[in-house]
Amino acid sequence: MKSNPNHAEANEIVKGAMLQKVIDWGFPPRTVKYVKKIIDEWYAGKTMNGLLDLWEAKLTPAISHQAPLNILTYNVEGWGSRDLETIEMIANTDSSICVLTEVGEQWNKVSIPHFKTFYQKGTNLKGGVIIAVGKHLKATRVDIGIENTAIVDIEGLSERIRIIGIYWPQCQNRNLNDLKPFIDEKTIITGDFNAGVESWDSPKTDARGRQLEKWIEENNLIYIPGTRNSSKRSERNIDFVFTNISELTAETLEVGSSDHWPIVTKSEDIGYQITGYFPIVNWTVYEIMLQLMQDFWTKELALETQNVDNWYSNYTRFLSALKKRVTNWRKRDKFRPSLPPYIIQMLKSVRQARNKYYRDKKMNNGIVDEETRLILRKMTSNAKKEIVKYKSGRWKTFLSQIQEAHDVNGKAFWSHLSKIYKPRTLPISKLLTDVGVKSNQNEIKDILYDYYNEQAKSPEVDHRNNHDQYITRESLRIKEEIIKSPKMKLEPITQIEIKRLINKLKNKKSAGYDEISNHMIKLLPPGYIQCLTSCFNMWIEECRFPEVWKTAKIVTLNKLRGGIPRTDQTRPISLLPTHSKIFEKILLNRTREWAEGNQLIPNEQSGFRPGGLLPTRVLSIYQEIKNNLAANMPTLAIYVDYQKAYDKVWHDGLIVKLRDLGIPINLLTMIVSWLNCREAYINLGENKSEKFNIDVGLPQGAHSGHLFADDLSVL
């Protein structure tokens, strides 16, 4: 395109002028250097396609690499007292899966950050076992209801594995054969077995040891030796790791305050893909580049006045590719335990002192050492004060950070609080079906596709119903009429109108399928808006809604507060290109002007109308009730909730209704074009489904949707 050899010299001059501009704007040298690099790339490109391909492909970050899997086995001897210590241990050992035994009844008092916990109660108060799995992995519980035994399937690793966590206290009689059917191809069985086997690093083999050894052999499992015996009280080794996976190693660590040493099992072969990177977009450079390329795009459009669609698709591609080009990926920091080690140490010594005090008291027939008692009291209150000090310190740092950031609206404050208090709707990773829980992403995507595809089919037309027949007939006739009728121009769009709408957009950074977010559009310099105005006017003139805007990306969220949803409990969110939303807004304004001008919307309807706030409705209802009370009359309210008002709008019905209301033909043409041939696809993580047609409902997330849906409910 631009880098014709003959023009090489001219290019150099243009490049120099561009850089000079950036320097004149007063940007620091680092930014200038970055911009220069991008400009060089731009002019080195042979074709626009080639360059954009490069930007799109080359800069897809190599975000994932395989990290080895670590599994922590630890007898915590009471979760209530060793929770923080264990959390710290998990962080230090970088474990993704933890099998914690002897957790006691307070197993859910403190949750492990970024982990999902599967608990199975034990036979006694102190018993119970937890399998905790990091949220970067997908874990599904295999419910067996055997005490002290938890089974969890782990996906998201290079291979699917099964973890069986066992706590086998001295007093419990059990037969391990109940586990036999649950031993999978890739299984790791680990936990506290309270059994001694000579060949497994214990001084001698006991009865339970013999039983266990035989069972392990029968089931073709192998014992993974640690680096020392796991009991602190004796020479015995009573925590084991058994598996049928090859190439596992285990290390026994000498940390922790319980009476067992923890074991970390490692696998180099089985790992998970690290995606612990997050994007940082250099918006400054993005803005500078847009500013510099302004003239280029204006000229491009001038060359393609007949084919604005082509220009538009190149332009949107440029925006998203440029964003990718200026995006850097940074590694995420590790999380820290909630309390620092010195406080944990403090709490530990307090507990020890207390136990000693009461033990001594018991020994001495109730006679206490007054001094020890006072020391103990001091220690307890000191530990408490220390925790308060630490927590309030953190809170203060947070508050002062907000203050320094000059966050007038308290945005950072509320976003912090909402993280704690606001219930979140999570993207779904699992789906409940008639045949059980599905956790394979691809399968879920297909099921969702089937479900939403079915939902989007044309509504059944009742052929015996005269009204339905009429509508079908009429809508066909109208559509034909539209094709034949001469095109009348709608009022053209002005640049100011678009600019105003862009300013009104929420500053969101999430994007539709074209990868362009609101934020990116808000940064556009005026030159582009001028170009967009020309494009929009071209489409308005042709009474055509561009095809590229009709594909919606559907992401699904869980409607439930927690748990695995069924298909009908998922909430679909359609993401549409922001450009189309601006265009629709204009369309909406034009329709509203017509509707209001003809007084078609009743005054009572206040939803989704400018100036018609919900509180006015509440007030008017209140007034009504008050009036009735004054007149000593009962008030009866009837609430009608049109379920899925937008989703179920019948296109043909809408068209006929609007025609009957006397909508101008050009607006109607536009709306027909807007409704026709809509497509959507399901986007679930990395997986994208086939596209399917949407024959029913108004485009979700579209501005115009509200007006039409509400109109129908009252007209």
- Can you tell me the distance from the alpha carbon of 190 to that of 151, in angstroms, rounded to the nearest whole number? 11
Contact stretch for DNA (CB under 7 A) within 380-388, 424-432, 518-526, 555-563: 380-388
79 scored as a contact of DNA (CB under 7 A): yes
Q: What φ, ψ does residue 508 adopt, rounded to 5°?
A: -95, 150
Q: How far is CA 92 from CA 250, 292, 334, 658, in A?
A: 16, 48, 10, 66
Taking CB under 7 A as the binding criterion, the range among 176-184, 252-260, 291-299, 388-396 that sits at the site for DNA is 252-260
Taking the C-alpha atoms of residue 283 and residue 285, their distance in angstroms, rounded to an integer, is 5
* Other Cβ atoms within 10 Å of 664 Cβ, number: 14
Contact 623, 686 (CB under 8 A): no
Q: Is 622 one of the binding residues for DNA (CB under 7 A)? A: no
Strands 678-684 and 248-252: unpaired
Identify which range of 243-251, 356-364, 549-557, 675-683 contacts DNA by CB under 7 A.
Answer: 356-364
Q: Residue 169 interacts with DNA (CB under 7 A)?
A: yes
Q: Which of 9, 24, 170, 254 binds DNA (CB under 7 A)?
A: 170
**46 touches 71 (CB < 8 A):** no
Q: Of 384, 391, 411, 467, which lies in the binding site for DNA, with binding defined by CB under 7 A?
A: 384
Residue 174: name the closest of 161, 197, 191 by CA. 191
Q: Which of 384, 644 has the CB closer to DNA? A: 384
91-94 — which CB contacts under 8 Å span 24+ positions?
91/334, 91/335, 91/336, 91/337, 92/255, 93/253, 93/262, 93/264, 94/70
Determine, following the binding rule CB under 7 A, whether residue 102 of this chain makes contact with DNA.
Answer: yes
HSE-CB at 652 with a 13 A cutoff on CA atoms is: 16
Count how many residues are written for the chain. 715
Instruction: Please say which residue, 258 or 441, places its beta carbon nearer to DNA.
Output: 258
Q: Judged by CB, which is closer to DNA: 237, or 441? A: 237
CB atoms within 10 A of CB 112: 22
Helix, strand, coil shares, percent, the chain, to 5: 45, 15, 35
| Minimal distance, residue 357 CB to DNA, in Å | 7
Q: For DNA, which is the closer residue by CB, 365 or 409?
A: 365
207 near DNA, rule: CB under 7 A: yes
261 makes contact with DNA (CB under 7 A)? no
Give min distance, CB of 355 to DNA, in A: 5
The footprint of DNA on this chain (CB under 7 A) covers a number of residues equal to 47
Which residue's CB is nearer to DNA, number 362 or number 561? 362
Q: How far is the CB of 447 from DNA (least distance, A)?
A: 41
Decide if residue 367 touches DNA (CB under 7 A): no
Q: Residue 227 Cβ, how far from DNA at the closest point, in Å? A: 18
Q: Which of 47, 381, 392, 616 binds DNA (CB under 7 A)?
A: 381
Q: Tell me: does residue 209 bind DNA (CB under 7 A).
A: no
Q: Is 433 in the site for DNA (CB under 7 A)?
A: no
- Minimum separation from the CB atom of position 347 to DNA (A): 10
Element (H, E) at 361: helix 341-363
**Alpha carbon distance 245, 336 (integer Å):** 31
Instruction: Determine, following the binding rule CB under 7 A, whether residue 258 of this chain makes contact with DNA.
Output: yes
Q: Which is nearer to DNA, 126 or 135 (CB)?
A: 126
Tokens representing residue 318 in the block: 């440029």
Q: Check the CA dihedral 212-218-224-227 and report its sign.
A: positive
Q: Tell me which DSSP letter residue 564 carries.
A: P
The neighbour count for residue 342, using CB atoms within 10 Å, is 9
Residues at the contact surface with DNA, assessed by CB under 7 A: 77-82, 102, 104-106, 123-127, 167, 169-172, 192, 194, 207, 231, 233-236, 238, 257-259, 351-352, 354-356, 358-359, 361, 366, 373, 376-377, 380-381, 384
